[in-house]
Structure 1
Amino acid sequence: MTQAGRQGSPRNSSGRKGPERNAPRGAAQGRGAGAGKRDFPKGGDRPFGDRTYKAKPREERFVDPDEAPAGRRPAGDWKPGSKAPASRTGAPKAGARKAAAARKPGANKAPGTPGALKPKSGAPKTAGSRAFGSERFGQSLGPVRRPSRTRGPRAEVPQSEVHDADGVRLQKVMASAGVASRRVCEEMIAEGRVEVDGKVVTELGVRVDPKTAVIHVDGLRIQLDDTLVYMVFNKPKGVVSTMEDPEGRPCISDYIRNNQGERLFHVGRLDVATEGLLLLTNDGELANRLTHPSYEVPKTYLVQVRGPFPQGIGAQLKDGIELEDGFASVDSFRLVDSTPGHVLIEVVLHSGKNRIVRRLFDAVGFPVLRLVRVKVGPIGLGDQRQGSIRNLGKQEVGHLLASVGL
């Protein structure tokens, strides 16, 4: 096709001639095909087929330098507050880090064996490394608080002193009791966190007899006897603290379901008008220690009396009051809430005398309107519904046993 034919073809919508197409913008046009057309100044509207396109100035996105990744300019699609891709920040991917860790000498060896990697000191512990850390039920009570007693230094002992050739491996016993996985239990042993019969064990080859061994992890007693039961009952008002009542009044057994015939003891008593926490168990040794005065297990009560409550009464209760059966006092006194005509007080005491809280407040001239026990030792009611019974978690059982030296 000739040059003239190409200029007149439908594809050339402007109809301009070749020389005119290359003419400077804004120059005067001749009387040819382009005559009479609008001149477009530089930077203005330009033809785009049958439409016009208005060029807009590019807006620079503001990026806070404090939020941008250090040492790099953010990409065009990066927004403040979002994480930049790993490839742009230079951080290694998770798979690469795991592969590098697996190539370290001793990475595949069990803790405590020759050549194995030593655990990092001061590294944060995961939830699984805590005894019963993966437990779904019960309350997490934190570190164990044992009663103060004279104890010698925790020294490592030879394996032969606690080893039972016919027993079960220690890490297997711990894993079966729900402490953690067997691998994590091995790490606990290697770190010196496990005691067998009061002696620290750090060797992984130790075997023990689950029926006779007493095992502690971080001071937390592991209960290996599956027949022992530990429950919390939120007693309502009007229920008698007995398993059976000859007068036909509501009692504890009316609220127990599927107890499979085991005999349960109620640890202590609450009078008929008092509500709150009552421990139930078939562990006779624990029940005896919890009620024995020498262990001084604290009990927490919420007391409602008529207000206003004058100052100085709390100090008087803490100093002690002479009752008909001897001297009595509270360990702590705290004003929780005050409304017109009523005052809510929290008291903690370790005395197990009958109706001791009511008699103390009667002695200072403020009879109790409502009394609720909310805590015994480390075990609390929390949001447990009144009239319900729940099993204690294994971590709670360990704290309860430790509170009385078991």
Structure 2
Amino acid sequence: MAENNRNSGRTGGGNRGGRPGQGGPRQGGPGRGGKPGAGKSGGPGFKGGKPGGKGSAGRPNAGKPGTQNAKGGKPGAKGPAGKGTGPKGAGPKGAGPKKGQPATSGPRPYASTDRYGRKMPDKVAIYGPHRRRRPKNPPVDRLEVHDAEGVRLQKLLANAGVASRRVCEEMITESRVTVDGDVVTELGVRVDPKTAEITVDGLPIQLDDKLVYYAFNKPEGVVCTMDDQEGRQCISDFLIPHRHQQRVFHVGRLDIETEGLLLLTNDGELTNRLTHPSYEVPKTYLVQVRGPMEKGIGDQMKEGLMLEDGIAKVDSFRLVDSVPGHILVEVVLHSGRNRIVRRLFDAVGHPVERLVRTQVGPIRIGDQKQGVVRDLSKTEVGHLLASVGLSS
């Protein structure tokens, strides 16, 4: 029977798990895991691999000696973990040992370069240099101005509107701040805001929140009083109740025809000094009169003119502008006598047509609109207090 099968016509190659091939002049080799073909031996199976290498992880071939298994890779390297050994390769790409190294040695360690030969990044270039710690402040208990239960000096200055807290700290370290006459350079100093006298660059800082300071641009026709019994328009008509809650009074007076700057405050000491002649606070006026004006009138007003209540004079006289029939003059004087400017120009034969006060001490009216009441800034208050010798 075997003889009949061997000669029973054309034989085919062995298939997977193959049956014996059938006779014929062309015989196939054994299939994968199949029985040997019945014809000529040595032909590869249907899914036989290419000639295999010496990889140790592959299974033995099923065809001729030395052939690769059905699903084997390319010829493997000479090592246990060579590329392509066994089914689809066993070792990672490029992980095999180099020539001349023992097969059991692993990859070389790296520190300054990575596995691809690139230089590791410099941490200083990425994160920058190491930041130095802020030096500790020296103890401040030794200072007489220090009050352990008070408020930090830089916080007090920031709340007073001098600058931000960081800028105030820089002012302290730069020796620009004094407390009770002593220069303070330490940041840990605490002071009592009710009793401390603080200056920045020589200017006093007002720390009392109950004291308010306003600048009012008085229009013509407004009576310079807080309440008029005749029902005329007065200063209180321009105060906004929800903004100007503190009771204030005007510093000095302007007659009903005069316009311009009028200070309002509840600081009694400041008011007394601004209005007292001994402090000689300068006031600047713009005066419009009929022209032309003869030469030498400015010199006469500087030297002094005799009025009904004594000699009066101006500190400065300057021609600002002139148009046909009118001239504009700026005068500065520190006298606070009633209607003093109008009487001076009446004495030289040039009655005043319009009078505007533009400045009192260091406070200017600027571009403030008529009828507007604005808060003085902390800097303006400091300059105003310093002009009359007040430190707080």
Common fold: TM-score over 0.5: yes
2:208 corresponds in structure 1 to 225
Q: Secondary structure at the match of 2:196?
A: coil
Q: CA deviation at 1:98?
A: 12
Deviations 1:352-379 (A, max 9, x none): 0000000111111111111000110111
1:172 corresponds in structure 2 to 155
Deviations 1:154-179 (A, max 9, x none): xxx99532111221221121122222
The runs of 5 or more residues in structure 2 that have no matched partner are 1-123
Deviations 1:55-93 (A, max 9, x none): xxxxxxxxxxxxxxxxxxxxxxxxxxxxxxxxxxxxxxx
| Distance in 2 of aligned mates of 1:98 and 1:161 | 47
| Distance in 1 of aligned mates of 2:316 and 2:148 | 51
The answer as to 2:292 corresponding to 1:308 is yes
The runs of 5 or more residues in structure 1 that have no matched partner are 1-95, 115-156
| Distance in 1 of aligned mates of 2:364 and 2:125 | 44
Q: Would the aligned equivalents of 1:235 and 1:387 in 2 still touch at CA under 8 Å?
A: yes
| Distance in 2 of aligned mates of 1:340 and 1:212 | 59
Match of 2:277 among 282, 293, 309: 293
The answer as to 2:385 corresponding to 1:401 is yes
Q: RMSD of the alignment, in Å?
A: 2.3
Equivalent residues, number: 265
Q: CA deviation at 1:402?
A: 1.2
Q: Would the aligned equivalents of 2:177 and 2:183 in 1 still touch at CA under 8 Å?
A: yes
> Letter of the aligned partner of 1:289 in structure 2?
R
1:279 corresponds in structure 2 to 263
The answer as to 2:218 corresponding to 1:235 is yes
> Letter of the aligned partner of 2:158 in structure 1?
A
The answer as to 2:338 corresponding to 1:358 is no
Q: Would the aligned equivalents of 1:159 and 1:206 in 2 still touch at CA under 8 Å?
A: no
> Letter of the aligned partner of 1:233 in structure 2?
F
| Distance in 2 of aligned mates of 1:351 and 1:252 | 23
Q: CA deviation at 1:263?
A: 1.6
1:192 corresponds in structure 2 to 175
Change (3 A) 1:286 1:249: same
Match of 1:257 among 219, 240, 243: 240
1:375 corresponds in structure 2 to 359
Deviations 1:292-323 (A, max 9, x none): 11111110000010000111000000011111
1:109 corresponds in structure 2 to 134
TM-score normalised per structure 1 = 0.62
| Distance in 1 of aligned mates of 2:228 and 2:126 | 64
* Identical aligned residues as a percent: 72
| Distance in 1 of aligned mates of 2:160 and 2:216 | 24
Q: CA deviation at 1:99?
A: 7.9
Change (3 A) 1:209 1:385: same
TM-score normalised per structure 2 = 0.64
Q: CA deviation at 1:97?
A: 12
Deviations 1:334-357 (A, max 9, x none): 000000000000000000000000
Q: Secondary structure at the match of 1:160?
A: coil
Change (3 A) 1:103 1:184: farther
| Distance in 2 of aligned mates of 1:345 and 1:296 | 21
Q: Secondary structure at the match of 1:399?
A: helix
Q: Higher relative contact order by CA 8 Å / sep ≥ 6: 1 or 2? A: 1
1:332 corresponds in structure 2 to 316
| Distance in 2 of aligned mates of 1:308 and 1:297 | 31
Q: Secondary structure at the match of 1:232?
A: strand
Match of 1:161 among 140, 144, 147: 144
Deviations 1:104-136 (A, max 9, x none): 7x5x426x847xxxxxxxxxxxxxxxxxxxxxx
Q: CA deviation at 1:262?
A: 2.3
2:8 corresponds in structure 1 to none
Q: CA deviation at 1:200?
A: 1.4
Match of 2:197 among 190, 214, 217: 214
Q: Would the aligned equivalents of 1:159 and 1:201 in 2 still touch at CA under 8 Å?
A: no
| Distance in 2 of aligned mates of 1:270 and 1:172 | 40
- The structure with the larger Rg is 2
Q: Would the aligned equivalents of 1:159 and 1:203 in 2 still touch at CA under 8 Å?
A: no
Q: Secondary structure at the match of 2:263?
A: strand
Q: Would the aligned equivalents of 1:234 and 1:381 in 2 still touch at CA under 8 Å?
A: yes
Moved more, 294-303 or 200-209: 200-209
| Distance in 1 of aligned mates of 2:244 and 2:257 | 29
Moved more, 333-342 or 396-405: 396-405
